[in-house]
Amino acid sequence: MKDRRIGVFVCYCGGNISDYVDVNKVRDAIENEPGVAVAKTHMFTCSDAAQQEIIEDIQNEKLDGLVVASCSPKLHLFTFRAMAERAGLNPYQYVQVNLREQCSWAHRDNVELATDKAIRLVRAGIAKTRLTEPLSTLRIETKPKVLVIGAGVAGLRAALAISDLGLFVFLVEKEPEVGGWTRKWNKMFFHDQRGDDIIDMLKDQIKQRENITLFTNAEVVEKGGSVGDFSIKVRVGKDDTISLEVGAIIVATGFDVYKPAEGEFGYGLDGVIRLPEFKDLVTQSNGTINYNGRTVKNIVYIYCVGSRQFGDIDNPNLYCSRYCCSAAAYEALCAYEKNPELHQFHLFRDMRTYGKHEVLYEEARTRQSIFIRYEDEDPPVVERVKGKLRVRVHDQLTGGEELEIEPDLVVLVTSMVPRENDKLVDILKLPVGLDGFFNEIHPKLRPVETVVDGVFIVGAAQSPKTMAESVASALSGVSKSAALLMKGYVDLEPFIARIDTELCEWCEECTKACPYDAVEKVSVDGKEVAHIIESLCKGSGACIPVCPKDAIDIEGYTDVQVKAMIDALIQEAV
């Protein structure tokens, strides 16, 4: 091991660390560790002033390794890497030690042992730093093209917005026609625009764009490559397969309407229909609303059908579907507009007409709609008795009084459910949440990004949304794709696997273990060995334990480094 000059900076975090960890004792304990040239403490290491001081230390003391013992790397890894870079130090010779989330905050009850643990953690960080090598990022040229999967309202709007920015779009739709659910609908809340009009308008605009190619009756069947440089195979029609090269992928596959089980709130009985079907009835009506040739006078709406269930096998949907309360209240207003003589009863659990949608609820209450709250555990019962529909419900407002309503029509206010597209999930390797919708990286801060770099999820494929919300999320996905592609390149972390070709004897175990298809077989001097495809490797480490020859290491997390860290952790503390 050559002599290293490592700088160690321990942070008070303004008391967050120093209230429970004796920061100066930590500094004193490690300042004589082999390789440590500078050891200091700072009140806030992340402050500009402290960073400036550290940069000066790096330059004056000619440091070749850096340890900051502060908060979680999730918060400031990139801050300090950038600082190292500004000081002329290779950013991958920086190691962050987490003394806050993993030490001071966790051990408020025992200052002494917390300090002891902090010393060990910092020693481990130093041990790792002693073995760091300068690494450089992997730069990949990006393709200025985006694949949009699904041509519903979100996909269409996304395609137009990408085209606006001068990028090419391939828009792939499974159905023979574009427009998804929106195309099938007439007047929609909140602005009374017609769904079919909106789709026609978007379709017309797309036709005029030279940089949008639309495939209908088409499905994505294969995905290779990685962020900035994906290679995609699309099956068009029955037999044609075409290959595309794109830099980013926007998934806008939308939702399905919940299909209740036979007998669920009377589903299957004559006169029990779902909200989308009711919407069609209202659209078709001229004056009165008719169902199967009969005039409808009394309507019962049952809310939360397929939403907020109890999580058992028959009722798996725990989530709230968000759009349905507002949509049902709006539909009641549309029905009232057609026929003010209607009696409409809404059986609900919580009215979730959030934000400005509140006025829909307010208006419906003044227009012949009666809202009856039922208890979660005591849902309404729908039966057909002597040829007539009958709904029984306990009304909370009247102290649980049982009401009997004989409606002509029961409208089940059904939820949005995730589309069944297991094949696509498999091809894109996208994670799916407990609710069955695609999962984002962070629900608040990164709602359209996924763990697969360069693949974005928008619209109702991510979670139930209204049309306007779907469009907002689609445009958000466009922002993210454009920010990625318009720069022309992406830099990938260098933490990828490396094969020691002298040890490797190509047994295939690593390629079997790799979830990213990043290992290929090559021949080196006539010997068959494994080779890592840099742009595909994510540094997951899945290949390492399965290698019988210990021929694989992850850059930045080598076996030697990890062992050195463990040794430092269990060393007797002073």
Partner 1 sequence: MAKQLFVTPYRCIDCKNCEIACSFIHTQDPQKPALPRIRAYTFKGDVHSVALCQQCEEQTCLEVCPTGALVRDPETGVIKRTDACILCRTCALACPYGNIHFDPLNKEIVKCDLCDGDPFCAKYCPSRALIWAEEPAPDLEPEMEVEGLLGEEEARYSANRCLDCGGCSECHECVNVCPADAVKLDMRDEEQILEVSSVIVSTGFNLFDAHLKPTYGYGRYPNVITAMQMDRLLSPTRPFNHVIRPSDGKRPDNIAFVLCTGSRDQTVNNRLCSRVCCMYSIKQSQLIMGALPLADITIYYIDIRAFGKGYDEFGEQAKAMGVYFVKGKVAEIKETENNNLTVFYEDIAGGDGLKDAEHDLVVLSVGLLPNIDALNLFDEGLLEADIYSYVKEIDEDINPGKTSIDGVFVAGAASAARDIPDSILHAGAAAAQAAAYIERMRADK
Binding site for partner 1 (CB under 8 A): 15-16, 47-49, 52-53, 157, 161, 164-166, 188, 190-191, 193, 198, 201-202, 307-308, 318-320, 322, 325, 350-359, 362, 373, 375, 396-400, 433, 435, 437, 443-445, 447-448, 462-463, 467-469, 471-480, 482
Taking the complex as a whole, how short is the minimal distance between the CB of residue 414 and partner 1, in angstroms? 16
Taking the complex as a whole, how short is the minimal distance between the CB of residue 376 and partner 1, in angstroms? 10
Amino acid at 471: V
SS3 154: helix
Question: Toward partner 1, which CB reaches closer, 120 or 322?
Answer: 322
Token pair in block for residue 149: 């999967």
Q: 401 — phi, psi (to 5°)? A: -55, 135
Question: Toward partner 1, which CB reaches closer, 132 or 353?
Answer: 353
374 touches 349 (CB < 8 A): yes
Question: Toward partner 1, which CB reaches closer, 164 or 508?
Answer: 164
Taking the complex as a whole, how short is the minimal distance between the CB of residue 413 and partner 1, in angstroms? 14
CA distance 165 to 151: 19
Q: 214 — phi, psi (to 5°)? A: -105, 130
Question: Toward partner 1, which CB reaches closer, 301 or 506?
Answer: 301
Question: Toward partner 1, which CB reaches closer, 193 or 231?
Answer: 193
Token pair in block for residue 157: 């709007």
CA distance 569 to 125: 9
Taking the complex as a whole, how short is the minimal distance between the CB of residue 53 and partner 1, in angstroms? 7
156 touches 178 (CB < 8 A): yes
CA distance 248 to 229: 8
CA distance 17 to 268: 63
Query: Omega into 190 within 30° of 0, i.e. cis?
Result: yes
Question: Toward partner 1, which CB reaches closer, 29 or 188?
Answer: 188
CA distances from residue 50 to 18, 37, 46, 110 in whole angstroms, order as listed: 16, 18, 7, 29
Taking the complex as a whole, how short is the minimal distance between the CB of residue 535 and partner 1, in angstroms? 27
Of 129, 25, 16, the closest CA to residue 68 belongs to 129
Taking the complex as a whole, how short is the minimal distance between the CB of residue 118 and partner 1, in angstroms? 19
Question: Toward partner 1, which CB reaches closer, 385 or 445?
Answer: 445
109 touches 128 (CB < 8 A): no
Q: Any residues with CB less than 8 A from the CB of 54 and at least 6 apart, and which? A: 7, 9, 42, 45, 66, 68, 83, 87
Question: Toward partner 1, which CB reaches closer, 179 or 225?
Answer: 179
What DSSP letter does each residue of 404-453 carry, written as one string? EE--SEEEEEEPEEE---HHHHHHHT--B-TTSSBPPSBTTTBTTB-SST
SS3 285: coil
Question: Toward partner 1, which CB reaches closer, 205 or 339?
Answer: 205
Taking the complex as a whole, how short is the minimal distance between the CB of residue 315 and partner 1, in angstroms? 14
Of 376, 233, 255, the closest CA to residue 323 belongs to 255
Question: Toward partner 1, which CB reaches closer, 161 or 234?
Answer: 161
Taking the complex as a whole, how short is the minimal distance between the CB of residue 227 and partner 1, in angstroms? 18
Taking the complex as a whole, how short is the minimal distance between the CB of residue 296 and partner 1, in angstroms? 28
Taking the complex as a whole, how short is the minimal distance between the CB of residue 351 and partner 1, in angstroms? 5
Radius of gyration for the alpha carbons in the chain, expressed in angstroms and rounded? 30
Taking the complex as a whole, how short is the minimal distance between the CB of residue 222 and partner 1, in angstroms? 29
CA distance 375 to 342: 26
Taking the complex as a whole, how short is the minimal distance between the CB of residue 356 and partner 1, in angstroms? 6
Q: Is 433 exposed, middle or buried (0-12, 13-18, 19+ CB in 10 A)?
A: middle
Of 551, 328, 320, the closest CA to residue 417 belongs to 320
Question: Toward partner 1, which CB reaches closer, 190 or 516?
Answer: 190
Q: Which residues of 71-81 are buried (b: 16+ CB within 10 A; e: fewer)?
A: bebeebbebbb
Question: Toward partner 1, which CB reaches closer, 49 or 566?
Answer: 49
Q: How far is CA 401 from the centre of its chain?
A: 44
Question: Toward partner 1, which CB reaches closer, 431 or 433?
Answer: 433
Taking the complex as a whole, how short is the minimal distance between the CB of residue 330 and partner 1, in angstroms? 13
